Structure 1
Amino acid sequence: MGQASAMRLPALLPALAALFFSQAAAQPTIFPAPRGDGRELVIYSSLDDHLAQPLIAAFQASHPDVRVAYENLLTGELHDRIVAETAAGTGTADFAFSSAMDLQVKLANDGYARPVVTPDTPGWPDWANWRDTAYALTFEPAVFAYHKPSFAGQTPPATRADLIRWMAEHPDQARGRIGTYDVARSGVGYLFLARDQELYPGIWSVAAAMGRADVQQFSTTSDLLARIADGRLALGYNLLGSYVAEWARRDPDVGMILPQDFTVVVSRVAVVPTAARDAQLGGAFLAFLMSPPGQELLSRTLRLSAVSLEVAGQDTPAGGMQDLAGLRLKPVPVSPGLLAYLDQATRSRLLARWNAALSGR
């Protein structure tokens, strides 16, 4: 390759990446406009299609001429698509909604998200809004899940100290029957561990105790909950509360405890990309999700607790998170501080310490 060609190659990479993503991506799910076929709203999201459908239907009820193209992507793919399409100048999604808080904040911090002020922005919690460019829309605690029959006649652990005590006093019941996320493979599991370390110096005693009890690690919440439901696991540590609440609603053998010492809270974060093809429409969808009707729909239909204090303060048993009052809630702030979790050296150190604690080193 000649020198001139080699110099031109970096400039071509964004366009090539955008072309790759556009060809490799699955076709979006189309929600036709209820009446007419005016504007198109393009959404990239990590939320499954069937969970997004009621949100889209409610939005289209007040915007009947809007056609929605919905793409369900892995969180890393969502981030990379927006970056590549922005660099290529082809335009990108009008709205992006992801459970990867760190990657969403990175988009905003790196200039890939635009400021949007909605009618509910003035009352939004400070921790859930970074410079009007990245908004937390859900409120999802890390909880303990447990197999109710395994704790018949006992009170399940409600704090991390209780958990250590239970493992020490019931070694036969605990051995091989404690589960948590594989923090090397689960993004939310890693985020929970990083937050635990920041808030609780004793977390390494918890990890060491779980290691002695032969803790089992899994990549997904569903893998953990399936084993808790049938009794292969007695207890799951730091599971995503929205999934546990839904599973517990359907399965009487699954219980949920919001830790009494402190409860880490994570969120799904929304941005309107700078290179959105229709930023006004993306902003309208964000405004809907931040409104009381949108927050109530997230809470009731999707069983994800609302950030909106007005909605979160209501009695919403269908959301499964109605018992937050009086807890020491520790939300992960939507801020550039999340970018530290993406630093590879920091990640390597935390994973090494976790593995050392589990192995008793």
Structure 2
Amino acid sequence: MRARLTHVLLPVLLLVAPALRAEVTLFPAADPAAPPTEMVVYSSLDTALAAPLLAAFQKAHPGLSIRYEDLLTGEIHDRIVAESDGPGRTADFVFSSAMDLQVKLVNDGYGRRTVTPDTADWPDWAMWRETAYALTYEPAVFAWHRPSFANHPPPATRADLMRWMADHPDEARGRIGTYDITRSGVGYLFLARDQDLFPGIWQVIAAMGASGVQQYPTSGDLLSRISTGEIAVGYNLLGSYVAEWARQHPDTVGMTLPRDFTVVVSRVALVPRAAAHPDLGEALLAWLMSPDGQAELSHSLRLPAVSLEVAGGQTPSGALDDLTGLRLKPVPVGPGLLAYLDQATRARLIERWQQALSP
């Protein structure tokens, strides 16, 4: 695996658009004397995590500046649709953790078929119609407060979690956290996959409800409370954010990949049909799928690459655990994801969730 780039171009413009809650950052061209070219990226990846990726790509394209818009996943979908249907153009590249919404864009004709040098070798589960490509491999993990488990091991399976709640009711009461699935798209997807893979999940959810589970819309909300000990265990958190918090707070935040089964989601990329500069979007996609791009993704997000030969089946040093022996259950990129967007299906799952959590 190639060495991580340490040079990151500092953004020169930071705007906040309250209506969309978008963070817009301009990464200037490495060579200001080169003919000016600007590409636009819509993404749900935090700007701080995206910066080294963009800097590495710009190193190979010194005349390219990048307008990076950090948006909520629903806003990304809605803007691509509105701008594609309008008289103008839209972003050149889209990168989102909402796998279902990305597949919906492709299904509804808003994506551009893009064949890269690595398409032929890409895993079947990780692409659809040679248009939507999974680029990351992000497990749903348990996060935990290290001092709270100084005298006994943290849960490593869902059965362990239930035993801990039963054996340590005072420690568990009000100190279990997870996503609010009515406000978190990835939280909803994790629960839907839990239900698909494990019929006993509702016993786990009911036990969490009996212990006064706390629900939050974002990973940051959960991890800040785990770091202080307000929350002892976080269930089904997105591994990329937990890995970074565990690195920055090694004395307070721990992370475990569930040993019974581990749901894996991906950030999905596509080039929009109405991209202003589709050639630039295709170039970025091709680079992110290349061994160099996958290695940079793996380092920046501290996660396994989809292209596992890049990482040798393991994560970068100090990131997630070795994946050997885990029952990994990746969510396939394809039309099956559209079922999760069905409003009746969503309403039934949310209703069952709320009933299971009710005392």
- Per the alignment, residue 70 of structure 1 pairs with 68
For the pair 1:83 / 2:63, whether they are aligned, the reply is no
Amino acid at match of 1:175: R
Write out per-residue CA displacement over residues 35-75 of structure 1, whole angstroms, 9 at most, x where no aligned residue. Answer: 31243322111123232222222111111222222222221
- Separation (CA, whole Å) in 2 of partners of 1:172 and 1:28: 45
Answer whether contact 2:53 2:296 (CA < 8 A) is retained: yes
Q: 1:77 to 1:317 in 2, by over 3 A?
A: same
Mapped pair 1:255 → 2:254: yes
The corresponding residue for 1:328 is 327
Return 50-59 or 140-149, whichever deviates more: 50-59
TM normalised by structure 2 equals 0.90
Partner residue, 2:48:
50
Q: 2:84–2:90: 8 Å Cα contact kept in structure 1?
A: yes
Considering only aligned residues, what root-mean-square deviation do their CA atoms show, in Å? 1.9
| Equivalent AA in structure 1 for residue 142 of structure 2 | F
Q: For the Cα contact (< 8 Å) 1:242–1:305, is it kept in 2? A: no
1:1-361 residue pairs with structure 2 within 5 A?
A: 28-35=24-31, 36-251=34-249, 252-313=251-312, 316-318=315-317, 320-360=319-359
SS at match of 1:60: helix
Gaps of 5+ in 2: 1-16
- Which whole-Å CA distance do the structure 1 matches of 2:314 and 2:187 have between them? 29
Letter in structure 2 aligned against 1:32:
P
Deviation, structure 1 residue 33 = 2.4
**Structure 2 CA distance for aligned equivalents of residues 200 and 26 of structure 1:** 37
Report the equivalent of 1:13.
none
Whole-angstrom distance in 1 between the partners of 2:353 and 2:300: 36
The structure-2 alpha-carbon separation of the partners of 1:273 and 1:312, relative to structure 1 and needing over 3 Å to count, comes to same
Q: Whose Rg is larger?
A: 1
Q: Contact 1:304/1:319 (CA < 8 Å) preserved in 2?
A: no
Residue type at the aligned position of 1:321: L
**Partner-residue secondary structure (3-state), 2:295:** helix
Partner of 1:10: none
C-alpha contact (below 8 Å) 2:304/2:316 kept by paired residues: no
Instruction: Decide whether aligned partners of structure 1 residues 24 and 146 sit closer, same or farther in structure 2, where only a CA change above 3 A counts.
Output: closer
- Aligned counterparts of 2:321 and 2:124: Cα–Cα separation in 1: 22
Moved more, 43-52 or 326-335: 43-52
CA offset at residue 171 of structure 1? 1.2
TM-score normalised per structure 1: 0.89
Could you say what secondary structure the match of 2:189 adopts?
A: helix
Q: Which amino acid aligns with 2:230?
A: R
Give 1:318 shift. 4.2
Q: What amino acid sits opposite 1:296 in the alignment?
A: A
The answer as to whether partners of 2:314 and 2:322 remain within 8 angstroms in 1 is no
Alpha-carbon separation, structure 1, partners of 2:303 and 2:318 = 6
Structure 1 position 268, deviation (Å): 0.7
Q: Give 1 or 2: higher helix fraction.
A: 1
Ranges of 4+ aligned residues in structure 1 off by more than 4 Å: 23-28
Read off the aligned partner of 2:302 and give its amino acid letter: R
* Residues 184-214 of structure 1: CA deviation (Å, up to 9, x unaligned): 1111111100010000000000011111111
* Shift, 1:82, TM fit: 1.1
The Cα of 1:332 is off from its aligned counterpart by 0.9
Cα deviation for residue 24 of structure 1 reads 7.4
